[in-house]
Amino acid sequence: MKILLVEDDKLLNHHLTTLLTEAQNQVHSTDSAQVALHYAADYPIDVGIIDLGLPDMDGLQLISRLREQQIPFPIIVLTARGNWQDKVEGLEAGADDYLVKPFQKDELLARLNALVRRSAGFISPRVKAGDYELDLSRKELTVAGEVTVLTSFEYLILEYLMRNARQVVSKQQLLDQLYGDGEGDPNTIEVMVSRLRKKLDPEGVISPISTIRRQGYIFNLSCS
């Protein structure tokens, strides 16, 4: 894997760089958000690891900047903040997963592998529904002719919902699509779906994704 590591703690940065390199990964390591933006724009990256407490830019702002620049590689957030609200903020900014410090090295490697495996798991070139067209090969969503870039995990959720259009899909089914092993926080799905709704229907008029209380979600349009 080609990994972008953004961590300002010099000891932890060195430790993680060594760990990831020994696991046969190529690591672009920095303690600067500005340098990270440069790496992300100029080098092929499979996954990003971003700490929230950076000296030159808040980690959430860095994630938002990456997404604004339509850089879709999956991102895992490292945080010392364990409460759910902080995790929600990271996910809403565009992250795909989070890991609370301190953590075990095996858990980090497993999360990274899951992120990359799932983000590469696109199998069909296009799914269409009304004004929506999901091009999985190009990693683009077209809404009424306008291109909107989704993150890898947003793709996986939207693809599954569209392929199961007009059927109720549970949070557990969506978690299985993302992590494949039944792990993961169901609240993550709520944040991801909220992000998708904003991208699919920014005016709140069409409501393509509905919540079915205590059951899950349903994509309301027929797909082809």
Give the mean pLDDT of 62-70. 91
CATH code for position 164 = 1.10.10.10
Q: Select from 68, 84, 119 the last residue of a domain.
A: 119
The answer to the question of residue 224 being in a domain is: no
Report the pLDDT value the prediction gives residue 122, as an integer from 0 to 100: 47
Token pair of 150 as six digits = 């989704």
Does one domain contain both 6 and 102? yes
SS (H, E, C) 124-166: CCEEEECCEEEECCCCEEEECCEEECCCHHHHHHHHHHHHCCC
Q: Say whether both 114 and 130 belong to one domain.
A: no
Edge to edge, what strands does the sheet with 146-148 contain? 126-129, 132-135, 140-143, 146-148
- 73, 98, 119 — which closes off a domain? 119
64 inside domain: yes
Q: Are 82 and 31 contained in the same domain?
A: yes
Distance set, CA 68 to CA 41, 45, 99, 166, 197 (Å): 12, 16, 23, 31, 17
Let me know if residue 146 belongs to a domain: yes
Q: What's residue 4's pLDDT?
A: 97
Residues 134, 54, single domain; the answer is no
**Distance from C-alpha of 224 to C-alpha of 221, rounded to nearest angstrom:** 10
Claim to verify: residue 10 and residue 114 sit in the same structural domain: yes
Range of the domain at 15: 2-119
Do β-strands 126-129 and 132-135 pair in parallel, antiparallel, or remain unpaired? antiparallel
Residues 108 and 130 in one domain: no
pLDDT at 120 over 70: no
Burial class (CB in 10 A: 0-12, 13-18, 19+), 20: buried
Same domain for 49 and 109, yes or no, is: yes
pLDDT for res 19:
94
Domain stops at, among 94, 119, 144 = 119
Same domain, 76 and 12: yes
Q: How many domains does the chain have?
A: 2
SS (H, E, C) 67-119: HHCCCCCCEEEEECCCCHHHHHHHHHHCCCEEEECCCCHHHHHHHHHHHHHHH
Residues 115 and 131 placed together within one structural domain of the fold: no
Q: What is the mean pLDDT of the chain?
A: 86
How many angstroms separate the CA atoms of 7 and 37, rounded?
13
Task: Verify that 34 and 108 share a domain, yes or no.
Answer: yes
C-alpha 194: how far from chain center? 13
Examine the domain organization and report whether 93 and 146 are in the same domain.
no
Q: Tens digits of per-residue pLDDT, 144-177?
A: 788 888 887 888 898 889 888 888 999 988 988 8
Average pLDDT, integer, range 64-93: 84
Phi, psi of 44 (to 5 degrees): -70, 120
* 158, 178: one domain: yes
